Structure 1
Amino acid sequence: MYANDGFRELGRPECLRLLTQVPVGRIVYTRKALPAVLPVNFCLGHDGAVLLRTSAFSQLVRAIDGAVVAFETDQVDAAAHSGWSVVVTGEAALVTDPAEHARLLLAGPRSWAPAPQEVFVRIDPELVTGRELVAGRTLYGVQLPS
């Protein structure tokens, strides 16, 4: 990344803090050997893991259990030409521990599309990266036309 490209790299702690500020992100995974992106609601676990709640019978669960995935979320202000983006990359796995499952039933993410039989998916945060657009439509202190 260039020093004057208008973006600021975000550290892991700041990325994790920003993840708690939005309810929806996008999971990026492989479906039939092609990249697929699906919007999902989520919450952040105490250890920085991304937690999803979905139908036990969904195609998503079959595609991501045990696979390395990416999870992205962002916040954009179109009027101010500013915003941030955070990407978490790591292995996704079904939560199978009964104690953790019970805890997530009480404090975990709530599905926006409830299903009769739901499961929790954990994405362990192996790599957490982010960046913030700080310059917007200005360059060297001069406002650029939109």
Structure 2
Amino acid sequence: MDTTDAVSRLDDRECWERLASQELGRIVTRVGAVIDIFPVNYVVDERTIVFRTAEGSKLFELTANDDVLFEVDDHTDDDAWSVVVRGAAERLDTSDAVEAADELPLRPWIPTLKYTYVRITPDAVSGRAFLRGPEPDRYGVESS
């Protein structure tokens, strides 16, 4: 395998296609020196990320600092990819915004009540694709 082709950047369209193809991502929050990561199921809605949550530490942290990272990835035996969204998280609190979010194909994965919608509006989206394969010879000498 030519290792120069093992990693490639995804363009904006490719990032959004991959984000839309999945349902589970991770949101990273930061409040002071405390950094947390939470798995969330989500949907893409017009180049934003929407998820539901309940009252608790995740929602508190998003309220204290709306700057977040959101990451999604996937892999097969042959390739893998990762997309990172940097942006601001906003609790949807107007009746129009909540009604619109209610129409999205977004349901909790676990049997808990999650009445709060959160929208991540990106400042930047970046992604990389990876070709999987064996590690190249470490010293540049092929063994036979």
TM-score (norm 1): 0.81
Give secondary structure in 2 for the equivalent of 1:136. coil
Q: Which residue of 2 aligns with 1:45?
A: 45
What is the Cα deviation at residue 19 of structure 1?
0.4
1:70 pairs with 2:79: no
The structure with more radius of gyration: 2
Between stretches 29-38 and 85-94, larger displacement belongs to 29-38
1:28 pairs with 2:44: no
1:123 pairs with 2:120: yes
C-alpha distance in structure 1 between counterparts of 2:71 and 2:121, whole Å: 13
Q: CA, structure 1 residues 92+114, in 2 after alignment: closer, same or farther (shift >3 Å)?
A: farther
Q: CA, structure 1 residues 12+87, in 2 after alignment: closer, same or farther (shift >3 Å)?
A: same
Off by >4 Å, runs of 4+ in structure 1: none
Q: Please list every run of 5 or more consecutive structure 1 residues that lacks an aligned counterpart in the other structure.
A: none
C-alpha distance in structure 2 between counterparts of 1:126 and 1:12, whole Å: 12
Q: Which residue of 2 aligns with 1:58?
A: 56
Q: Please list every run of 5 or more consecutive structure 2 residues that lacks an aligned counterpart in the other structure.
A: 137-141
Over aligned residues, Cα RMSD in angstroms? Answer: 2.2
Q: Which residue of 2 aligns with 1:94?
A: 91
C-alpha distance in structure 2 between counterparts of 1:86 and 1:92, whole Å: 17
Deviations 1:119-142 (A, max 9, x none): 100110111000000363376xxx
C-alpha distance in structure 1 between counterparts of 2:23 and 2:111, whole Å: 16
TM-score (norm 2): 0.82
What is the Cα deviation at residue 108 of structure 1?
4.6
Q: How many residues align?
A: 134
Identity of aligned residues (%): 28
